[in-house]
Amino acid sequence: MLENLLFPDITETPETIIEKYPKRKDWLVVTRIAPSPTWFLHIWAIYSAMLDKIIAHKNNWIFYLRIEDTDQKREVEWAAHKYVDIMKQFWLVFDEGPVWTDYIDVWNYWPYTQSRRENIYKVFIKDLVKKWLAYPCFLSEQEINETRQIQEASKIPTWIYKEYSPWRFATEEEVKTALDEWKDFVIRLKSKWEISRKIDLNDIIKWKITTWENFLDIVICKSNWIPTYHFAHLIDDFLMWTTHVIRWDEWFASLPLHMELFAMMWWKAPLYAHYWPLVKIDWNGKRKLSKRKDPEADIEYYFKAWYLIDSIIDFLSNIINSGFEDWRKQNPEKSYLDYDFKFEKINTAWALVDIDKLNFVNANIIKNMDDETIYKKLKEYLSKYDIELLNTIQNFDDKYNIKIIRELKTKIKKFDEFRENTYFLYNESEIPSNELMINEKMKITDIETVKKALNLSLEILKSRKNDFESIDEIKNIFVEKILNADMKNWQVLWPVRCALSWEQFSPWALELLYILWIDKSIQRIEKVLKNI
């Protein structure tokens, strides 16, 4: 028989395979995230995993990880392991999957990596061939292209189906002859649906959609004996008893095919939810976030720019349901899972990845975080992305570094801005230009006014025995001394700011005096006075 010619080594049956994957309890909601380790981890994978976890969390739930590595030509070594590690950073804790120590499978529906399930797929493909629901196709690329040209000339749908698939009607002898000639072949589905018929599909997000049936004889097993995604994921979702499949809108066009496959197998299909793709705005308007064009498609882009995990989660949660932002203001300490997400409120338009909005969320979380926690997280970040700066700040006292953080945390959006905003605090002082220090808006019209201001500041600083306790203390002392010297506040504070930071844009003079302490402030001011 034909199935034995193609699969002589496969002795198991679908029934014996199914027995190994016992049915879960009816009341369980089972969701999964199933990334393909072909490149970096896309931000939509985190978005999708959050949706999976949300719907599982709201019910009696199982949330599992499956690695879909059937595209072995594009597979990136260690990518799957990296995906697991990144998911853990987002507190996306899986109940099942390759997530134990050394990425060993957890729970009974293993293996959770498709490349280790090849024989399982072959059992079901063999059964479809036996039932004349699939067939070997020996068409060459040239023959497929010629068929496409004929279809295009006739203005009919292109690809392999019905009368445009000669091997669909081949006899067993014709197949045996082709096998004896060592011709390459694939296994195609023998679609029973029609080109001119429509079906109604239900979607948790899109609701009821009417679309065309699948009529294509799609490939379910490639010439290298690796099954295609369309077939492998369906077998896995059934055997692992997945109840909800949540994926981005790009896959909706494949839903008729997947529903036909479930019907062919006489299996109940899971519920599907297709969310709109993440998009960005460029000069042409909105477009889908591209792995090839857009660095912000890569989740590690956000790590390198030092966006907090909490910020990314809140940002994505607000994309899922717009009411989340107001809820977060009222519940700053709660987990995003405590919010009553509703799938009917998921954005039915393209979901915008607005970096300005993310900056706002991240800046707000930094502003409200305690200084020691920020310092700890900063060192973790620098240990991965800026060892040079980490070594520099570790040469300074922790109290000094924390004072800098206390000053900066209300002014920066993310911590890749830390280096540029602290250069003058960690390096030897420079001499600001006269043009910078003379500032008519500050009532400083000549260099003599600058010298007078800096000398007054030195007099105040040298009269102190101890460092200042607070910025308010510095302010009170300086304001009184400036008034007694018959000068304006900014006539003194602007030159001091320039002398301490040698930059136009920096923390204000009082903040700098507090951060740098008295001795370092005196050194920098004296150095400027000697050189102007």
Dump the DSSP string for 260-291.
HHHHHHT-PPPEEEEEPPEEEEETTEEEE--T
User: Residue 469 and residue 501: Cα distance in Å, rounded?
Assistant: 21
Which secondary-structure segment (H or E) carries 351? strand 351-352
pLDDT tens string, the chain, 532 residues long: the values are 889 989 999 999 999 999 999 999 988 999 999 998 888 899 989 999 998 888 887 777 899 999 998 887 777 778 888 899 999 888 888 999 998 888 888 888 999 999 999 999 999 999 999 999 999 999 999 999 999 999 999 999 999 999 999 999 999 999 999 999 999 999 999 999 998 899 999 998 888 899 999 999 999 999 999 999 999 999 999 999 999 999 988 899 999 999 999 999 999 999 999 988 888 888 777 888 888 888 999 999 999 988 999 999 999 999 999 899 999 999 998 988 889 988 777 866 677 889 999 999 999 999 999 999 999 999 999 999 999 999 999 999 999 999 999 988 988 999 889 888 888 889 888 888 888 888 888 788 889 998 999 999 999 999 988 888 888 999 999 999 999 999 899 899 999 999 998 877 788 899 999 999 899 999 999 999 988 8
Domains defined along the chain, listed by start: 281-367 (1.10.1160.10), 371-426 (no CATH), 434-530 (1.10.10.350)
Instruction: Yes or no: say if 13 and 123 are a contact pair by the CB < 8 Å rule.
Output: yes
Looking at the chain, how many residues does it have? 532
Q: Burial of 21 by CB count in 10 Å (0-12 exposed, 13-18 middle, 19+ buried)?
A: middle
Strands 134-137 and 186-189: antiparallel
From residue 127, alpha-carbon distances to 12, 124, 134, 264, 490 in Å are 10, 5, 9, 11, 86
Q: Which of 152, 183, 151 is nearest to 170 (CA)?
A: 183
Strands 186-189 and 285-288: unpaired
Instruction: Yes or no: say if 278 and 89 are a contact pair by the CB < 8 Å rule.
Output: no
Q: What was the pLDDT predicted at 348? A: 67
